[in-house]
Each structure stands twice: as structure tokens, then as C-alpha cells.
Amino acid sequence: MHSFDEVKEEEEEDLPPPPPTFSEEELSAEKIKGYKEGYAKAQEDEKAGRDQAIATTLSRIASNISPLVIAETEREKRFEQEAVHLVQHIFKTLYPHYASKCGFEELKSTLNEVLENNRTETTIQIYVAQNMLEGITTHLNSLSASQANLSFEVSADPTLEDTACRLSWKEGGASHNPEKIALSIQKILVQELEHDGFTVDSEEKDAAHLTNEIKDDIVDDSAHEELQAQPDAPDNQGEIE
């Protein structure tokens, strides 16, 4: 005899378990949790992508900026060299003209200042070039006549040239040598050019050549002025104001 109750029990045992059930609160919490996790992951991915883009850009900049820096450094160096070279040529051109035009007046001004600052000295010995002796003596005698307490003696010194002078007194002395100053300026400019790697002509580096060049230019400029002057115009060096 067959038992139907046993078959029924076997069929009930083969059924899948019922699906899980969640409350509304649990579903809402899970939804919020999933959103937050997804948002955080998206932010991480976006940051990683941004960082990678920045790194790539910086790498490209670094690889390209080096040639620009080198080129700019070379441009600045070339600009400085050209500026110094220009100053050198301007100075070499203008100084002889200045020395010819203003050298004697500058010498007189220098002597006036030294004498004024040393009025208390008993006697100041003044040494000038032979070609300046007459003009300076006349000028200082005129100055002494208008100002008291000036005691000096003027002599020619064969070692001095043009508007150079040397002064001495009991407690000290002074000197004035525009040509030496001009030569020093020229040498400084040449040294600056050489320091920066600029090619300097060998004649520009030679002190004797620079001195002779300045002297020749002064002579040439003076000769030109004499040709332009009137026949009865007085010598500029002996002129007294």
C-alpha cells in the first residue's frame, strides 16, 4: 500500500529557501552606502587621472624649459657684452675730445679745490707739465690776488704730461692724472669683456697701445680744433677765465 504522506514530505524538502527580506531602512542604508562608495571611488579615479596629467605636463615642461633657459642666459650674456663693448668704443671716442676741450679747465678746477681745502698749509708745491707751466702760473697768481692765505710754488716736472699734476705739502699730497684714469677705465672694460668670453683685439688689451691711442686722438682732436679756430684765437690751454 502506497503512502501519499511520505511523497508530500519529500517534495517539501526539495523547495528552495525563501528569499531574504529587508526593511525599508535597511534598503535605504545600503543605497546610501553604495552611493558613497561609488562617489569615493570616482573621486580617487579622477584625482589619479589629474595627478597623472599634471605629472605628464610637468615632465614636458622640464624637457622643454632647459633649452629656453640656456638660450636666455646666452642672450643676456651677449647683451651685456655688446653693452660693455659699446661703452668702450664711446669712451675711446669721447675722452680725447673731452681732454682736448676741458682738460685745462679741469686741471684749474682741481688745483683750486686742493688749495681751498689746504689754506692752513705754509706752502704747497705744485708740479705740472712743461707746456702747462705758464698757463697754470698765470691762473694761480690771479687766484692768489683775489684770495688771501694761498701759499704755493709752481714748477715743471718732465715726468708729467698734458693736464696731469702733482701736489705736495708738509703733511700730505695729491695727484691728478686724467690719462691714467682713462687708461684704467679702458682696462676695466677690456677685463670685463674677457671675463665674459668676448673676443678682444690684442691691441685693445695692450696698455701702451691704449695710452698712445688716447694721446694720438687728443693730438688729432686738438689739431682739428686749431684748424677751425680763427688766426688770432688764443691758445685754449693758456686761456684764463
Say if CB 205 and CB 190 are below 8 A apart: yes
Q: Taking 50 as the threshold, does the pLDDT of residue 193 lie above it?
A: yes
Coil, strand or helix: which one is 128?
Answer: strand
pLDDT at residue 204 greater than cutoff 60: no
Cell of 221: 682732436
Sheet holding 152-156, edge to edge: 152-156, 124-128, 165-169, 172-176
The per-residue pLDDT of the chain, averaged, comes to 76
Which range has the worst mean pLDDT, 2-11, 13-22, 120-129, 140-149? Answer: 2-11
Look up residue 46 and give its three cell numbers: 579622477
Using CB atoms within 10 Å of the CB of residue 69, give its burial: 0 to 12 exposed, 13 to 18 middle, 19+ buried.
exposed
Residue 139 φ/ψ, nearest 5 degrees: -65, -45
pLDDT score at 185: 86
Percent of the chain with pLDDT over 70: 73
CB atoms within 10 A of CB 28: 11
